[in-house]
Amino acid sequence: MDSTPHADAQLLRTKVLVVDDERAIAQMVGTYLTRAGYEVSVAHTGPAAVATARAEGPEVLVLDLGLPGLDGIEVCRQVRTFSDCYILMLTARGDEMDRVIGLSVGADDYITKPFSARELVARVQAVLRRPRGPAAGRGRSGAGVDEDPPRVFGDLTVQPGARQALLGDQVVPLTRTEFDILDVMSRRPSFAFSRRTLVDQVWDPAWVGDEHIVDVHIAHLRRKLGDDPAEPRFIETVRGVGYRMGSG
């Protein structure tokens, strides 16, 4: 087995829930994450995953899709009703439809089996480097919340400090990844972002996977914003490049 990074004291209280019905895989993943400094819980069925996530409030959920009781898609859907934890799906190579459905119901990222323990630990570390919660509303330059004012696009208001978006006076229920994409794009509204640029800024420059993961999250974001791709107000498609913010 490959080695993992030394535990970082900053990670010691970070909770990760590992869900896989293959006990050997769950144990291996849990062992490596524990060695990397995380507090790890393990579940082997869909209902147990939902119950444990509700009871323990993990910050990251490592979720296999093929589970007894409830499949990973339904677990993801139910967890999203009470938690905005990062969800990293484990999928069999080639199960593209499952990945698309999983991302559409709120998963943040995926990793395909077989995978190395080092790769999975690195992916968990990558999602945890992303901004978290209201206190995370600081620009990359280190400016405080009060120095990063709301950004207005018609009746859409992006509030970086609160990490929320409003349509009129209604809060839009975005996942962390959806808000991160909106946050990055709204900082530079005239800039056309390629998928790779969004991956680098929202996921991690070291992220390896299908860059079309961006398209799935953009589609989900547009649906929640009521944005028609044919006549977009908030997120425009730039043919041959990627996406940019619209004026609203």
Q: Write the pLDDT tens digit of every residue in 171-225.
A: 998 888 889 999 999 999 889 999 999 988 888 776 666 777 888 889 989 999 9
Domain boundary among 128, 147, 178: 128
Domain assignment of residue 35, yes or no = yes
Q: Report d(CA 34, CA 12) in Å as an integer.
A: 9
pLDDT at 4 over 50: no
Q: Which two tokens stand for residue 111?
A: 């990793």
Provide the pLDDT for residue 131. Answer: 57
DSSP state of 179: H
142 shares its domain with 218:
yes
Integer Cα distance of 34 and 7 in angstroms? 8
In this predicted structure, the answer to whether residue 142 has a pLDDT above a threshold of 70 is no
Domain with 225 in it: 134-245
Evaluate whether residue 163 is within a structural domain: yes
Q: Give the pLDDT confidence score for residue 161 in this predicted structure.
A: 87
* SS3 (DSSP) at 72: helix
Are 111 and 204 in the same domain? Answer: no
231 or 4, which is more confident: 231
Domain ends where: 103, 128, 153? 128
Question: Given this model, what pLDDT does residue 141 score?
Answer: 35
Furthest-apart CA pair in the chain: how many Å?
53
Asked whether residue 170 is assigned to any structural domain, the reply reads: yes
